[in-house]
Structure 1
Amino acid sequence: MMHPGAQLRAVIFDLDGTLIDTADDFIPAVQQLRSECDRPPMEAQRIRSSVSNGSRALVRIALDIDEEAPHFEAHRQRLLTLYAEILGHHAALYPGVAALLQQLNDKNVAWGIATNKPREYTIPLLEKLGLTPASVVCPDDVAQAKPHPESLEKGCRELRCGIREAIYLGDHLRDIQAGQRAGMYTIAAAYGYIESGDSAHSWGADAVAQRSEDLHGLLFPQEEQAYV
């Protein structure tokens, strides 16, 4: 798909693993859950790479159980409680993202968030970090979460832009699928929470950001070319 270029009016970000590095909040919550279940600490990187898959996936890897196991939901709720207690304590914007958001504001390019993270955790996290996106779409706000395109379509309406005037960035295959189904230009965040054996280059995104610092050049390629 053609890059919006000069017609770019909005950028929509996935949250965990794309806009904000939240893994350092999740890791101690998962380790505490394991401790309460008489299990030793697990490798932090394994937790980090699974954050984008949500609480169910984290419980599965934390306790090595499936969703049909007895007390699975009780364990998931306990994990969410532990996460809520630490939410935002260690989370931070990825390198270069604060400057990027300021540049978007300076260029009058609206920005928003489309995430599968429930609103009860998303809004406190954004407040903790002092972020004020023009649109925040959570699974609570739509009938079908990503990879369905509804979140992105709603985000574009709230940002008052056309689908082809916006770019979506995400660190999971479901993000790129949602963007493609909506008809948006997509950028895969290879610096995010990618599981072992997976590759952001295999998702079919229009572009791939190896580092968060690369996002400016991918969003505004005409400026990068001006320096060449």
Structure 2
Amino acid sequence: MYKNVIFDIDGTLLDTHDAALLALQKTLWEEYQIKQSLKDLEFSFSGTAQDVFDKYHIPPEQQLHCAESVVKNAFTFTDEIKPFAGITATLEQLRNWKIPLVVVTSEDQREVDSVLMKTPIGQYFQHFITADKVQAPKPDAEPTLAALQQIQAKASETLYIGDSKNDVGSAHNAQVDFGLAQWGANPELEFPEAEHIFSKPEEILAFIAH
């Protein structure tokens, strides 16, 4: 049984997949005349902004502008962003049980403020470890270790819920158990290393001490 829960955002809490890829696609074409299909951009969903910059050779002096453009374009597709079915009820129950909740994400704080905090589920979180708050992003242990420190939690009493290889990597590098958010994970990927596989958010509650 776990006393604390860490959540990823994209593909775990929020169904941002289509909006994120459409926004990036729009930026690459309008700003750099790079034409990519949504399938070409699939790698970016579980990666970091730096992964995108490196792949498309965005020079350092243009990276901030590129990131801002993607965030701006994401608002064009806000109708595509919503909590996954069952997430709100699950978070509400965890809050009722007074379970410490923390977000660990590859987004920066500005993106979190612009997206997550404008959805109904933003209210359930007070602690955020964003990409701009760490030196080494997921799959490094640093973001998960920072989350543990933020809520003064033991690794052995904490469950990390995510949907990507970067998520499970960060969790396990920090000696934290991982629960796969199967509802948001790429169906082409397998996660034999996951301690738990959840087909819907409500299943998380059975493993939480209260």
TM-score calculated relative to the size of structure 2: 0.80
Q: 1:91 to 1:208 in 2, by over 3 A?
A: same
Indicate the percent of aligned positions where both proteins have the same amino acid.
19
Which structure is larger by alpha-carbon Rg, 1 or 2? 1
Name 1:123's counterpart in structure 2.
Answer: 113
2:148 aligned with 1:156: yes
Structure 2 portions without partners, runs of 5+: none
Q: 1:78 to 1:222 in 2, by over 3 A?
A: closer
Q: Secondary structure at the match of 2:98?
A: coil
Name 2:72's counterpart in structure 1.
Answer: 85
**Number of equivalenced pairs:** 203
Q: Secondary structure at the match of 2:47?
A: helix
Residue correspondence of structure 1 range 65-104 to structure 2 within 5 A: 66-67=55-56, 69=57, 71=58, 77=64, 79-87=66-74, 89=78, 90-104=80-94
- The answer on whether the counterparts of 1:171 and 1:200 sit within 8 Å (CA) in structure 2 is no
- The answer on whether the counterparts of 1:187 and 1:206 sit within 8 Å (CA) in structure 2 is yes
Residue correspondence of structure 1 range 30-179 to structure 2 within 5 A: 30-36=24-30, 37-38=32-33, 42=37, 44-48=38-42, 50-58=44-52, 66-67=55-56, 69=57, 71=58, 77=64, 79-87=66-74, 89=78, 90-130=80-120, 131-132=122-123, 133-179=125-171
CA displacement at 1:158 relative to structure 2 = 2.1
- Match of residue 17, structure 1, among 8, 11, 17: 11
Name 1:63's counterpart in structure 2.
Answer: none
Q: Deviations over 1:112-133 (max 9, x none)?
A: 1011211221222222114031
Q: 1:117 to 1:41 in 2, by over 3 A?
A: closer
- The answer on whether the counterparts of 1:59 and 1:76 sit within 8 Å (CA) in structure 2 is yes
Q: Could you tell me how far apart the structure 1 residues matched to 2:182 and 2:63 are? A: 27
Q: Could you tell me how far apart the structure 2 residues matched to 1:49 and 1:55 are? A: 11
Q: Could you tell me how far apart the structure 1 residues matched to 2:161 and 2:208 are? A: 19
Q: Secondary structure at the match of 1:143?
A: coil
TM-score calculated relative to the size of structure 1: 0.74
Q: Secondary structure at the match of 1:146?
A: coil
Cα RMSD (Å): 2.9
